[in-house]
Structure formats: C-alpha cells, structure tokens
C-alpha cells in the first residue's frame, strides 16, 4: 500500500491474537507511516491494548499466541522483518530502540525505587553503549526536551516526588531516548487532568515533527483522536471495523459502530441555547443497525422556591502533612479553604476542578467521612455540628456516595444483592428476608438491570453494569442527595451516555439532588443546573451552567474549557499556552494561602478576584 508516496514503517497483515482458546484479535490489518500518527480507537475489550502489546511481543509474557498474520516492521530501507517471527532476544534489540512505548498510568509506570536519572540512563547505556556519565548528560537533555524545569536536579529524584504530569513527561523522555522509528502510546493522557493532557499532547506532537517518527496512538477519547491523528483505525470486539483519514472518519463515518461511538461523545458547547439539563436519546447498535432510544427533553427539576437541601458555609479542610522532630505540625495541606455553596431539591450542582483542587474532599466531608477544620454544613435546614447521633445516622442515609471506580467499590466476595441490601438493613428500613429481597429486585430493575442478577458476584458484570449496581446501592436507602464522585470517569463513552441518562431519569422521577464531582467539562455541561469551579481548594467561579459556560468570567474556567479536546479535527487550534503544573496546596502552618473573595457579577454568578 502506498500513501502519498510513503512506504509504511509498520505493516500489520491479518493479525490474529488469542489467549488460550479465546481469540482477542481477528484478522487485523493496517499500516503506519513515518511521520504520521495512526490513532487506534475502541472501547474496553476492543483488543486495542493487546494489539500494541503484540507489536512489542510483550503479549507473549501474558500467554498470547499468534495463530496467523504478520507484523512487518521496516526500520531502514528494504524488506522489513516480521516481528512475529523474531525471538525474544531479537525483540529486545528492537524494544526501546526502534519501537518505544508509553503506557497509560504514569503513576505506576516508573520504578519507585530508582531515580529518574537511573531509569533514563538505563536505556541509553543498553542500546547506545554510552558510558554512565555520557548517558547522564543525554538524560538531562532529554528532560529539557520534554519541557521539564530544573532537569539536572530532577535526575536525582525519585518518581514519588513527581506529579502525574511530570512522570508522564519522564516516560516520554525515556521512550524517545534512542530516537525510535515508531512510538506506541497506549492511552498516554487518560489518567491526567485536562490541562496537563493538553500540554502532554502538545509536547508529543512537537517531538514527533522534530524526530519524524511514526506514532500509534491508542485511545478511547474521540476528542484526543481529533486533536492528534492523521489516520484512524476503529476497533470493535477485536476487529477493525473502519479505517481512514481522520477527516473522513469524523465527517462521514461509514460503520454503524463508528457512528455510535461518535454520537455518544459528549460535545462541549452542545448545550448552547438550552437553559436546563438536556436528556438526549441514546444511539445504540442493534443487529448492526443504529437505533435511537429514549426521548429528547430538557428537564427543569430544580426547585428554587424552597430553602436549599444542602448548604455549605465557609468550609475549610486541612491535612497535617509535615511535622517537626518534636511532633509539632509545620506544614499543612490547605485542601479546602472557605468554600460555600447550596444545592436545592432536584438540582444538580457540578463541582469541577483538577486533581488536588479539593473537590473530592468536600464530598467526603458532606458524607461525614472527613472532619472539617472550620465552617458548617447545613442539611435540610439543620447544622451538622449540632446534630445528635441519631440525626447524623439519618444524614448518612439521606446522603449517598457513588465512587469513581466501580471495580473497587463493590465487595468482590459478596453478591451484588447483598451489597445493595446492606444499606437497607443497616438503617433498618425493611425486614430481612422477602421484603428486602423484593426491594433489591426493584432497585436493580430501576437502574436497568434485572432482578435475578441479585445473586451474582461483581466480577460477572461489566464496568458499566457495576456502576449501575453502585447506583442501585446508593438508591437503596432512599437518599435525597447523591454525591457522584467522578462516577462516570472510568466508563466507556457509550456506557457513560447510558449512565448520564439514568442519572437524569432518576432525578426527574425521584426528585434527587446531585453533587456531581467531575473533571469532564462536556459531561458537566450536559447534566448540571449550576457549576462551581474549584482551584486549589477555593471556588473561582460559581453560577448557573449557562453563565459559567457561556459567559465565563474567570481565566481559570477559561483555561479548563480551552483544554478540552474537541471531537472535531477541523477545529484543531493552537491552544491557550498553559503555564506548567498546578502549584501545591501545602503551605507552612503560619502562612496559609491567600483568600480570594467572591464578587457577584450577575444575579447568582460569582467570580473570585483574579489570581491565576
């Protein structure tokens, strides 16, 4: 195959991969060209990671077999080598030198017990036979290349002293150390904040142009695809369903699955002109046909005529992080500083911000999982600090929490029925036995599962189903407020769309209020009545969704919005230049961070004095 006169550097030809007797990839073919980026898109279980592991032949270690196909890799002129025919010895000379890889989890990709310098030098010493001193000089240059400040000092530091974004840059430096011909990036920015993601993507693009290497970019995020890719391969259940240039894929997707995927992506700005949260129909694939499911409606569930259900006033939360030798606290993490907001019955308030902004800490405090240093939380007109034990217990029942990771938040050794029944029994809402069983069945049906699933264990469910189980568990105690802490972040986009609709249906039918904690601006735009933007433990901007998104007043909100990749390759733009990492919220005890008082610029729209 020839494209614009280029010969492919990697030619995958009818590749099949299986583990044991189960085929994971079937007859996959595509090409990767030098200097170009091929995005491989698909949801969990599509086989995209296995594909990258197979190119590296790292899948062997997990027990993969390759019943058929070829992976031709040509590093120089002439015929390429078939990587599937190489032994591990030969592969070791290619790995890290000719083909390098970046992984999803920057927090766990670096070995915690070796310095950054050691880990960078290792590749250089191994493949380029440099001396340690030479390698160190080169390592420093590489760190500068990925725009890490203070590179020399960084060489002697350990991974745990670096933030996620910094670690991912170190990973990129490590992958690029030997100037590979092909870089495989497996969801390299999925675990990062949007602003950090934007910066990492910029770095990757610039370095690719500089080194002229080919890139395979694996992702599930259509926004990132639109931003990065030249060519796109869409994978579904182990097969390629569509491939083409990025503009083609986005402007006229042919395969129904691609169309479904694109339809499910929440688009920032899609809510312009709507005053209330809008439930949109789901596009689902049924027998190879696209079908729209559910109704399209705006829902005005919030009731502002009554007093707020929850009022948070002047809330501050600290963690002591450093003590002197004598045990006196010297440094404190000022996680949340004087935050205040209300949530009305039937209202969704979104709390947005990046990691370290204190958004989850606020949620945990309302759920009484965390002590506050100062301030008051009022629920149903009653201050929490004055509540008696029984009232606090009642509060625990009426406020429920849904966590990010549906895999970790269900007990793997109990049936989901038991997990859902637990809050019912703990709060003594129903009798043990038949009444509880009936209620559990109802709850499962309420969240779109079936009653007979109660006897199954969490591992028998997919990620989306598990999150539904978690929602059923949260509904079990008939709460009035649900705190959803990044409850959609771990889900595939198509599943995410389903769960968003579930949240909105429940709100309409049960009059629930939500505190929706998220970093995903597009989802927030779709779901929320009001939005609070949090930065370093303080509210920067709070107001109606239409105000915050369409009449954005604070530069930090602006920055968050501009960092979101748009799922539209024609809208690629030069991003707002971002200035490095978010500063730390840890300060000496006697020098707490400065407070930025809020100013009301329009009715109900408050903005902090500028600082960022």
Bridge pairing between strands 278-279 and 297-298: antiparallel
Q: How far is the CB of 171 from another protein (least distance, A)?
A: 8
CB of 62 or CB of 306, closer to another protein: 62
> Closest CB to another protein among 126 and 601?
126
Q: Indicate which single residue of 6, 13, 35, 158 sits in contact with another protein (rule: CB under 8 A).
A: 158
Which residues partner with 310 through β-bridges?
A: 343, 379
Of residues 376, 319, 321, 378, the one with CA closest to residue 344 = 378
Out of 11, 36, 95, 311, point to the residue binding another protein (CB under 8 A). 95
Instruction: Answer yes or no: are the C-beta atoms of 189 and 200 closer than 8 Å.
Output: yes
Cα 266 from chain centroid (whole Å) = 14
Pairing status of strand 37-41 against strand 214-219: parallel
Our finding on whether 110 is near another protein (CB under 8 A) is yes
Residue 105 sits in the site that holds another protein (CB under 8 A):
yes
The reply to whether 129 sits near another protein by the rule CB under 8 A is no
Give the distance from CA 28 to its chain's centroid.
28
Stretch that binds another protein, among 10-18, 158-166, 401-409, 482-490 (CB under 8 A): 158-166
Residues numbered 61 to 80 that lie near another protein (CB under 8 A) are 61
Cα dihedral value 266, 269, 270, 274, nearest 10: 130
DSSP-derived pairing of the beta strands 481-485 and 513-518: parallel
How many CA atoms within 13 Å lie on the side-chain side of 317?
Answer: 27
Which residue, chain included where needed, has tokens 């009545």?
Answer: 529
Q: Least separation, in Å, of the C-beta of 321 and another protein?
A: 10
CB of 58 vs another protein, minimal distance in Å: 6
SS3 content of the chain, % helix, strand, coil (to 5): 35, 25, 35
Distance CA 558, CA 536 (A): 16
111 binds another protein (CB under 8 A): yes
Contacts of another protein in 174-203 (CB under 8 A)? 174
The answer to whether 412 contacts another protein (rule: CB under 8 A) is: no
The residues, ordered by sequence, that sit 6+ positions from 549 with a Cβ below 8 Å of its Cβ are 269, 271, 272, 521, 525, 531, 561
How many whole angstroms separate alpha carbon 263 and alpha carbon 267? 9
The partner residues of 239 in beta bridges, in order of sequence, read 236
Of positions 6, 81, 126, 387, contacts another protein by CB under 8 A = 126
146 binds another protein per the rule CB under 8 A: no
Query: In angstroms, what is the minimal distance from the CB of 24 to another protein?
Result: 17
Establish if 589 lies at the interface with another protein (CB under 8 A): no
Backbone φ, ψ for residue 35 (5° rounding):
75, 0
Q: Are 65 and 15 in contact (CB under 8 A)?
A: no
Residue 165 as a binder of another protein (CB under 8 A): the answer is: no
Q: Starting at the edge strand that comes first in sequence, how are the strands of the sheet with 231-236 ordered?
A: 99-102, 182-186, 214-219, 37-41, 231-236, 239-245
Q: How far is the CB of 50 from another protein (least distance, A)?
A: 13
Min. distance of Cβ 392 from another protein in angstroms? 35
Q: Does 30 bind another protein (CB under 8 A)?
A: no
CB of 88 to another protein, least distance (A): 8
Name which position in 11, 127, 169, 332 contacts another protein (CB under 8 A).
127
Query: To 5 degrees, how large is the angle CA 12–CA 180–CA 237?
Result: 35
171 is a contact residue toward another protein (CB under 8 A):
yes
**How buried is 433 (Cβ within 10 angstroms: 0-12 exposed, 13-18 middle, 19+ buried)?**
exposed
Enumerate residues 301-360 that contact another protein by CB under 8 A: 325
**Given the complex with another protein, which of 138 and 520 has the nearer CB atom?**
138
Residues for the chain: how many in total?
A: 612
* Of positions 3, 65, 85, 93, contacts another protein by CB under 8 A: 93
The residue among 109 and 552 lying less far from another protein, judged by its C-beta, is 109
Total residues contacting another protein (rule CB under 8 A)? 33
- Stretch binding another protein (CB under 8 A), from 31-39, 90-98, 334-342, 537-545: 90-98
Which of 110-118, 226-234, 308-316, 372-380 is the region at the interface with another protein (rule: CB under 8 A)?
110-118
CB 159 to another protein: min, Å? 9
Interaction residues for another protein, span 542-571 (CB under 8 A): none
Strand partners, 376: 313
Residues in contact with another protein by CB under 8 A are 56, 58, 61, 88, 91-97, 100-101, 103, 105, 108-115, 122-123, 126-127, 158, 160-161, 171, 174, 325
């Amino acid at each position: 195959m020839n494209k614009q006169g280029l010969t492919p550097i990697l030619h995958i030809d009818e590749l099949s991969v299986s583990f044991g007797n189960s085929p994971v990839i079937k007859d996959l073919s595509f090409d990767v060209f030098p200097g170009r980026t091929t995005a491989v898109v698909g949801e969990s279980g599509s086989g995209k990671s296995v594909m990258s592991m197979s190119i590296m032949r790292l899948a062997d270690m997990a027990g993969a077999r390759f019943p058929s196909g070829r992976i031709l890799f040509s590093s120089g002129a002439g015929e390429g080598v078939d990587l599937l025919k190489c032994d591990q010895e030969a592969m070791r000379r290619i790995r890290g030198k000719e083909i390098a890889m970046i992984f999803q989890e920057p927090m766990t990709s670096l070995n915690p017990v070796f310095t950054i310098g050691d880990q960078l030098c290792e590749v250089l010493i191994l493949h380029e036979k440099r001396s340690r001193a030479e390698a160190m000089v080169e390592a420093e240059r590489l760190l500068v290349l990925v725009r890490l400040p203070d590179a020399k000092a960084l060489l002697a530091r350990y991974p745990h002293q670096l933030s996620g974004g910094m670690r991912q840059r170190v990973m990129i430096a490590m992958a690029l150390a030997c100037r590979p011909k092909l870089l495989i990036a497996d969801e390299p920015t999925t675990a990062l904040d949007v602003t950090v993601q934007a910066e990492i993507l910029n770095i990757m693009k610039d370095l690719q142009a500089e080194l002229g290497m080919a890139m395979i970019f694996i992702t599930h995020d259509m926004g990132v695809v639109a931003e990065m890719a030249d060519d796109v391969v869409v994978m579904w259940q182990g097969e390629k369903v569509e491939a083409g240039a990025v503009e083609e894929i986005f402007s006229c997707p042919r395969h129904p699955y691609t169309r479904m995927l694109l339809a499910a992506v929440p688009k920032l700005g899609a809510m312009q002109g709507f005053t209330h949260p809008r439930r949109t129909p789901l596009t689902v694939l049924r027998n190879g046909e696209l079908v729209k499911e559910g109704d399209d409606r705006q829902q005005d569930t919030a009731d502002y005529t009554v007093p707020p259900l929850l009022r948070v006033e002047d809330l501050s939360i600290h963690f002591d992080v450093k003590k002197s030798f004598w045990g006196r606290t010297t440094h404190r993490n000022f996680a949340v500083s004087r935050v205040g907001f209300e949530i009305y019955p039937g209202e969704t308030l979104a709390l947005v911000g990046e990691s370290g902004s204190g958004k989850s800490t606020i949620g945990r405090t309302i759920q009484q999982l965390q002590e506050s240093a100062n301030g008051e939380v009022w629920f149903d007109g009653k201050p929490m600090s004055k509540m008696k034990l029984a009232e606090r217990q009642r509060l625990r029942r009426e406020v429920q929490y849904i966590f990010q990771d549906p895999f970790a938040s269900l007990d793997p050794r109990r049936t989901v029925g038991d997990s859902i029944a637990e809050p019912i029994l703990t709060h003594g809402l129903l009798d043990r036995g038949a009444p509880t069983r009936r209620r559990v069945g109802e709850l499962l049906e309420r969240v779109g599962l079936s009653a007979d699933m109660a006897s199954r264990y969490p591992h028998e469910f997919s990620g989306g189903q598990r999150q539904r189980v978690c929602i059923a568990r949260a509904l079990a105690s008939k709460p009035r407020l649900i705190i959803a802490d990044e409850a959609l972040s771990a889900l595939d986009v198509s599943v995410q769309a389903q769960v968003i609709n579930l949240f909105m249906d429940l709100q309409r039918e049960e009059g629930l209020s939500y505190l929706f904690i998220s970093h995903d601006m597009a989802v927030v735009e779709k779901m929320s009545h009001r939005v609070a933007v949090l930065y370093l433990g303080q509210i920067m901007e709070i107001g109606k969704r239409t105000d915050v998104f369409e009449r954005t007043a604070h530069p930090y909100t602006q920055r968050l919005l501009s960092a979101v990749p748009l799922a539209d390759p024609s809208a690629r733009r030069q991003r707002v230049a971002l200035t490095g990492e978010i500063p730390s919220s840890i300060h000496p005890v006697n020098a707490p961070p400065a407070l930025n008082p809020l100013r009301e610029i329009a009715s109900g729209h408050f903005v902090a004095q500028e600082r960022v």
